[in-house]
């Protein structure tokens, strides 16, 4: 019989949040990484090695998906490293386990066919790893060219005879050497075993960064402010002071396109609008530069692990004409959004004389943003 160990004790530093609970396919990353193994008749038990604080939440997540709640899926407390997590999980193997498959909880695209290819190669002395060929040119860090045909990329699930795996991990426990995967560990401690590979799957990627999800968030923002007539003044547009005989009526500096942009960003990441984040009854925001507010919004974006992908802003006003300032606006936004200018679009239009905007007594802006 076959037991499966799912490695799910990582802390997702590079992702910026618990990536295993990110929505993916029918559910979330973790459940989709487990689901195909339940379709294999010879899989008797699946052991999820997870952080102690996450186990209850993971259990509830699996239950919502209708996963079996009996002995077939069990949880154990992981360790500080992947190797420690696997070592802990070995105590939960069934007595009649002949083989063990070890899989990354962050590989939700694993297919039943790939799992079966690994299983088909297993024997009492054979360890199996799925690999994929390199598509890119390969260099070392000192720019020495390598023949990519001599190299492959490792994937999971990796398969092992149960007793051989346990014995290798017992030897590892005496030394605690670092290893990046289980195949290399067993190769080190059980050189007499037979090591072979099977064809991997290019879709079987490991989720490390948010862009690995191929998930794009979008948001829309809108803002409008009335103007007071003030001779020889200037108005802020995307952080650039544009000469005008008017002044925005606002609690902050009244940078309308930036306000629309911030609302678009906050909407995309599921947060409340700038009125909640920077309330007008708070004096510390009186006359504050909207670029300072944008920086605070971007801090929240980074904290959640997102990256701005594209920005589009439409500024609607009669006067002044702003075409000559748009390139400077893009430069300012590029610096504050950590985004290339080519991914920033700013257009200007009039309201054809209609309403307060058309009369020159107000300015409006629409913004659209995408993030991953």
Domains observed in the chain? 2-209 (3.90.550.10), 217-371 (3.30.1330.50)
Phi-psi region of 214 (alpha: psi -120 to 50; beta: other; left: phi over 0): left
Give the number of other Cβ atoms within 10 Å of residue 58's Cβ.
Answer: 24
Look up residue 140 and give its two tokens.
């070392």
* Blockwise average pLDDT, block size 10, the chain, 372 residues: 95 81 84 93 95 93 79 91 96 96 96 96 95 93 93 97 97 94 96 96 88 82 89 90 84 91 95 90 85 95 86 92 94 94 94 79 92 86
pLDDT at 69: 62
- Pairing assessment for the beta strands 194-199 and 126-133 based on DSSP bridges: parallel
Q: Residue 239, CB half-sphere, CA atoms under 13 Å: how many?
A: 19
Asked whether the whole model's pTM tops 0.75, one would answer no
DSSP 135: -
What angle, rounded to 10 degrees, do the helices at 162-175 and 182-189 form? 80
- Pair of tokens at residue 130: 């799925």
**By the 8 A CB rule, do 4 and 157 touch?**
yes
List Cβ neighbours of 3 (8 Å cut-off, separation of 6 or more).
43, 44, 45, 46, 47, 93, 94, 97, 99, 100, 101, 162
**Would you say 87 and 93 are in contact if contact means Cβ atoms under 8 Å apart?**
no
At residue 46, the pLDDT reads 96
Residue 17: the pLDDT is: 79
d(CA 247, CA 269): 31
Asked if residue 278 lies in contact with residue 312, where contact means CB atoms within 8 angstroms, the answer is: no
pLDDT (0 to 100) of residue 356: 84
* Selection from 68, 199, 71, 35 nearest residue 129 by Cα: 199
Q: Which two tokens stand for residue 106?
A: 């962050």
C-alpha closest to that of 117 among 138, 101, 104: 101
Structure tokens at 335: 């610096």
CA distance 165 to 175: 16
Q: How far is the C-alpha of 362 from the C-alpha of 370, rounded, in Å?
A: 27
* pLDDT score, position 208: 85
**How many Å apart are CA 351 and CA 4, to the nearest integer?**
63
Q: What is residue 191's predicted lDDT score, i.e. its pLDDT?
A: 93
What kind and span of H or E run contains 205?
none
Whole-number pLDDT of residue 29: 92
Q: How far apart are CA 241 and CA 2, in angstroms?
A: 68
């Amino acid at each position: 019989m076959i037991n499966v160990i799912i490695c799910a004790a990582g802390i997702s530093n590079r992702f910026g949040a618990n990536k295993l609970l990110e929505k993916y396919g029918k559910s979330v990353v973790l459940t989709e990484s487990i689901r195909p193994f339940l379709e294999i008749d010879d899989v008797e038990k699946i052991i999820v090695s997870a952080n102690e604080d996450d186990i209850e939440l993971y259990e509830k997540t699996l239950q919502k998906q209708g996963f079996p709640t009996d002995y077939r899926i069990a949880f154990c407390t992981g360790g500080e490293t992947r190797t420690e997590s696997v070592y802990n999980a070995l105590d939960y193997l069934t007595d009649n386990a002949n083989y063990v498959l070890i899989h990354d909880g962050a590989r939700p695209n694993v297919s039943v066919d790939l799992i079966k290819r690994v299983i088909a190669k297993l024997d009492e002395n054979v360890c199996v790893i799925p690999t994929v060929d390199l598509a890119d040119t390969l260099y070392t860090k000192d720019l020495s060219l390598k023949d990519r045909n001599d190299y492959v990329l490792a994937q999971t699930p990796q398969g092992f005879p149960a007793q051989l795996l346990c014995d290798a991990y017992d030897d590892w426990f005496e030394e605690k050497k670092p290893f990046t995967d289980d195949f290399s560990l067993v190769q080190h401690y059980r050189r007499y075993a037979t090591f072979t590979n099977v064809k991997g799957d290019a879709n079987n990627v490991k989720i490390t960064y948010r862009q690995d999800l191929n998930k794009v968030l979008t948001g829309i923002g809108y803002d409008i402010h009335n103007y007071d007539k003030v001779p020889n003044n200037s108005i802020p547009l995307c952080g650039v002071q544009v000469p005008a005989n008017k002044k925005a009526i606002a609690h902050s500096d009244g940078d309308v396109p930036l306000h629309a942009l911030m609302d678009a960003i906050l909407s995309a990441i599921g947060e409340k609008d700038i009125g909640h984040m920077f309330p007008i009854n708070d004096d510390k925001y009186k006359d504050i530069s909207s670029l300072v507010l944008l920086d605070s919004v971007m801090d929240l974006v980074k904290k959640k692990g997102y990256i701005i992908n594209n920005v589009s802003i439409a500024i609607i006003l009669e006067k002044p004409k702003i075409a000559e300032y748009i390139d400077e606006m893009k430069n300012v936004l590029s610096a504050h959004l950590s985004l290339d200018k080519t991914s920033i679009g700013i257009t200007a239009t009039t309201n054809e004389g209609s309403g307060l905007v058309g009369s020159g007594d107000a300015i409006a802006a629409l913004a659209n943003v995408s993030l991953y």
